[in-house]
Chain A
């Protein structure tokens, strides 16, 4: 049952929490506001580099650097939103996917190396974080799940941030503000005709979701203690989309469940293949093919999801089908 415990560890580990946080941001954009953001990884990138540049280049304290991450994500949201949010929804989609990829290329460029470290990124970013660890050293775990004291500290913080993000988004979505946001998802002209400034609401939503993505990036930097630009490839965004749709968009816990389930399945899939391959039970599969098979697996899972459960695991089918004529 080794595979099961490893998969479980991944599903509740800090990486899953990072993806949950980014997916909550994406849920704010797509699930509630109907904004097609195909560049959530761009917010993670600027968030991670807020820590990377803040700590690695300028030697700021980590906590100041996290504030820098939030500020960078907010600025990116404004840069993306101000020119596109008055236009049709498609323009934001095109812009976000392009800007996220352009940002990665910019951060890894040779001329940016004094600031960002170029292709090598930045290292030793989280010493301040682990120095502040109040958890006594040792191993922690139940049922075979096993974490070090530093991992427990990191999980407390990342899942704590997730908890705060959930409280915040849920309070907002159950307020009149959230009602306007959901109205915009349904028909922004109708909302405008009732006297609401749609542009302001869409900008607020984009900034909020973007900041959550930026925080996810900052958490990622702390978790790994180093970052390189090439971790922020476009497929991260699409994993996030798959996770959100799997969990169920426009639900508070949809973006929590989705990443946990998908990380569990991905790890179980990888580990199973690896075990079988190591025992020569899969002679036609090379060790390096596993990564490719994993993509195929995610694709298949998405197809099955859309056919059999388009509303996601905890989505509302009635709500999903109301627009299907």
Chain B
């Protein structure tokens, strides 16, 4: 599954060499650190993460049964929701209390589970919008075209390079709303790269994408890592996760219950219990569906 030509299976494991497969374990070079992050909705505790670190330059998967709090944790870390308690930092800077746009400017850019293409803008405009630090984005600056024309040209060039990489360059003048679901996922990923992030957070990048495109999306994700970017992603498809992740974090009922390399997770009894229901092997227990509500 890994598209790196130079690394064999063993080399992928090396990225996390020497790290114990245990929940909340410290990483040698964490880009993102979160401690005691908690969020509840009414009486329900959706997220209660004791400690979590994400290693720089790796692909880390966040998995867990439905309702485990994966998306909520994503929203909290990226400033799209407020925590009740806890703190987290990115590249050593505290992110507590920062709004979503400020988190993105720090270099941590997210995508959404339900793709958010800006449908009545062209594909190229979708890309250009994301470029950071534009002079013409300010109300008064916008009126002075000579002041932003050159910057716009440079952004356009970079956008076209990214669109070519994601094979969307032929569609640049189409409305984003006319793209297929899979193409929108590609556009969203390309658009997030326009922000020049050091970490991308992908919320279910493969959801609703046809199998042929899944391969191409996987290739894009691994090449992001190979360029030095950190990727944290939420996904349900186990084949995908086991294939490309350097590290897997398992969330259940809002807490991290296990962490490790794909092999560690595959054989972890707690993870199997979380997915299938803790009592799935006891005779006379309720249907396996009970685990889904967790």
In the complex, which of the residues A175, A190, A319 contacts B120, with contact meaning CB atoms closer than 8 Å? A319
* A92 CB, nearest partner CB in chain B, Å: 19
B150 at the interface (CB under 8 A from A): no
| Tier of interface size on chain B | 35 or more
Distance, CA A176 to CA B119, complexed state (A): 17
B contact residues vs A (CB 8 Å cutoff): 78, 80, 99-102, 104-105, 109-112, 116-121, 125-126, 128-130, 132, 134-139, 141-143, 145, 148, 152, 175, 177-178, 191-192, 194-195
Q: Closest B residue to A197 by CB, please name it.
A: B101
Distance, CA A172 to CA B144, complexed state (A): 10
| Tier of interface size on chain A | 20 to 34
Distance, CA A189 to CA B203, complexed state (A): 14
Distance, CA A168 to CA B194, complexed state (A): 28
In the bound complex, residues from chain B placing their C-beta under 8 Å from that of A323 are 119-120, 177
Further pairs besides A176-B137, A194-B130: 4, Cβ < 8 Å? A177-B138, A186-B120, A190-B116, A193-B104
Are the CB atoms of A189 and B116 closer together than 8 Å?
Answer: yes
In the bound complex, residues from chain A placing their C-beta under 8 Å from that of B142 are 171-172, 175-178
A26 at the interface (CB under 8 A from B): no
In the bound complex, residues from chain B placing their C-beta under 8 Å from that of A189 are 80, 100, 112, 116
Q: Closest B residue to A86 by CB, please name it.
A: B99
Are the CB atoms of B143 and A190 closer together than 8 Å?
Answer: no
A125 at the interface (CB under 8 A from B): no
Q: Known: A175-B136, A175-B143. Contact between A322 and B120, CB under 8 A?
A: yes
Q: Known: A176-B134, A182-B118, A319-B120. Contact between A195 and B105, CB under 8 A?
A: yes
Are the CB atoms of A180 and B137 closer together than 8 Å?
Answer: yes
Distance, CA A182 to CA B118, complexed state (A): 9
Q: Closest B residue to A186 by CB, please name it.
A: B118
List A residues 181-201 near B (Cβ within 8 Å): 182-183, 185-187, 189-198
A139 at the interface (CB under 8 A from B): no
In the bound complex, residues from chain B placing their C-beta under 8 Å from that of A295 are none
In the bound complex, residues from chain A placing their C-beta under 8 Å from that of B109 are 193-195
Distance, CA A189 to CA B132, complexed state (A): 16
In the bound complex, residues from chain A placing their C-beta under 8 Å from that of B80 are 189, 192-193
Are the CB atoms of B100 and A192 closer together than 8 Å?
Answer: yes
Are the CB atoms of A175 and B145 closer together than 8 Å?
Answer: yes
Are the CB atoms of B99 and A179 closer together than 8 Å?
Answer: no
Q: Closest B residue to A196 by CB, please name it.
A: B101
Distance, CA A319 to CA B288, complexed state (A): 46
A-B contact pairs, 29 of them (CB 8 A): A171-B142, A171-B143, A172-B143, A175-B142, A175-B145, A176-B134, A176-B135, A176-B152, A177-B136, A177-B142, A178-B142, A183-B118, A183-B121, A183-B125, A183-B126, A185-B120, A187-B116, A190-B116, A191-B118, A192-B80, A192-B100, A192-B101, A194-B194, A195-B109, A195-B130, A198-B101, A318-B175, A319-B120, A319-B175
Distance, CA A280 to CA B104, complexed state (A): 71
A61 at the interface (CB under 8 A from B): no
Q: Closest B residue to A172 by CB, please name it.
A: B142
* A77 CB, nearest partner CB in chain B, Å: 14
Q: Closest A residue to B188 by CB, please name it.
A: A190
Are the CB atoms of A322 and B104 closer together than 8 Å?
Answer: no
Q: Closest A residue to B194 by CB, please name it.
A: A194
A204 at the interface (CB under 8 A from B): yes
Max chain B Cβ within 10 angstroms of own Cβ: one of A176, A182, A204: A176
Distance, CA A322 to CA B148, complexed state (A): 30
Are the CB atoms of B137 and A195 closer together than 8 Å?
Answer: no
Q: Known: A171-B142, A193-B111. Contact between A179 and B120, CB under 8 A?
A: no
In the bound complex, residues from chain B placing their C-beta under 8 Å from that of A175 are 136, 142-143, 145, 148
Distance, CA A317 to CA B179, complexed state (A): 17
Are the CB atoms of A194 and B191 closer together than 8 Å?
Answer: yes
